[in-house]
Amino acid sequence: MVDDKIILQPLIDDGIVDDIGEEMISIFQLTFDSVSEATVDEEAKRVALEVQKRITTEHHKGSQEYIFESTWEGLLDIVQLVPPRHIAQLLLVKTLIELDATPTWKDLPILGQVMRDRWTGAFFGPDPDNENEGACTPSGWVNLNSFLALLFASGVVRWQNFPVWELREGLEEELSPGEVADCGVAAASEWLIQAAPALLRLCLIDEDDLDEPIRRSNRAGSLFKGNPGLNLERWGFWKRRLGEVRGTVSEETALSVDKALESMKKTARVQLVRSSEAEPAVDPLAHQADIDEGVQQEHQHLHEHDDADGALQGHDQAEDAAEDVEHVDGAAQTTNKDGSGACGTLRALRAQGERQYERVRRLEFIVPVPHIADYLQLVKFRTQGVRYRFHVKARAVDMLVLGRVLERG
């Protein structure tokens, strides 16, 4: 499927796009026919320039807002024809990243509004009576969610409501029969395949002071009894629920479930990430091979990347931080004998204070309960001359969030 040729002409033949939509189809069809992994970055830049040149008030009637709206409508029509992990999907996401870097298209104006309209107006599954012009086929709905999940993971958009809505619909409610259930589970799985690292960071932050409108929008489904929003308990529920529904969906959807579970497992590996509000976006596009295999891996391991995505660059504590992560990584690998593994470090809070002879860094770990004793012994063994204090910060499902304070004399 990922190598299939994408044909966009039916969108024009069916008369569902306007003149701007036809422009978008013309631009992307030619590129879809020739793009490859080796050329996708270059092609995304070229397409973004083409969109800026051809989609303007000089060439199309109407206000700039109308042009933006028509552009996004045309693009989302295209998105629904592009399957997950197809090179064309990567091209679409990278093109939006390029557009976002330009003054006129910065923050992708009104794309969020157009996307919300798709969510509220789309029929979840086939429309047997064809009464809804915006009806979305099951495959189109999965494709749309997969695209948005990848865009969300890139950091260009930060719309937390979309993953919550889709994960709630697909995993937190009783399954509907047949194709609709498959569609919901597959769409939810795409969020965990494409955007697990971004989602887990937000789950760990666990904002419990949400405004009432956000609490309502991000409420839990009927099967999940926890708090609204993104939190660690909800992450654990999704993981368990995927295992439960796997045997009730089609073989194709079961493969997506397997990829989602593997993605969640890999994402929970030891990592150190920047905690400041200005945290740079994690680039999930950097390892396209992982995406092609259906598994979105975390790409910010300090022992693999010197700059850790800039998390510690410019800090005089970089060497200490790398040393800490090596200790933790070793502990996690050693406790992985039964296959479950320690989930390890998920984020590092910036240094809270610094004196001439003492540096303090606060770290958090998620550790499976059966491994805690071994984990603490290993940390003690591997860090001679370093003092640690631990306290339990949160408890969820079969894991604990441990806060560790590192003290260096």
What separation, in Å, do the N-terminal and C-terminal C-alpha atoms of the chain show? 57
Q: Share the mean pLDDT of the chain.
A: 70
Cα distance between residue 239 and residue 257, in whole Å: 10
- Percentage of the chain modeled with pLDDT above 70: 59
pLDDT average, residue stretch 232-241: 91
Helix (H, G, I), strand (E, B) or coil at 234: helix
Cα distance between residue 110 and residue 73, in whole Å: 11
Please report the pLDDT score of residue 105 as a whole number. Answer: 93
Can you state the angle between helices 161-171 and 111-121, rounded to 10 degrees? 20
- Percentage of the chain modeled with pLDDT above 90: 35
Cα distance between residue 345 and residue 347, in whole Å: 6
Sorting pLDDT into bands at 50, 70 and 90, what band is 206? low
Minimum mean pLDDT range among 85-94, 211-220, 268-277? 268-277
Structure tokens at 237: 């529920």
Helix (H, G, I), strand (E, B) or coil at 28: helix
Sorting pLDDT into bands at 50, 70 and 90, what band is 143? very high
Sorting pLDDT into bands at 50, 70 and 90, what band is 276? very low
Please report the pLDDT score of residue 95 as a whole number. Answer: 96
Query: Does 185 have pLDDT greater than 70?
Result: yes
Query: Does 176 have pLDDT greater than 60?
Result: yes
Q: pLDDT tens for residues 341-396?
A: 333 333 332 233 333 223 333 444 455 555 555 555 544 444 444 444 555 555 54
Query: Does 291 have pLDDT greater than 90?
Result: no
* Domains in the chain: ranges and CATH: 1-121 (no CATH), 157-296 (no CATH), 308-408 (3.30.70)
Minimum mean pLDDT range among 62-66, 79-83, 180-184, 239-243? 62-66
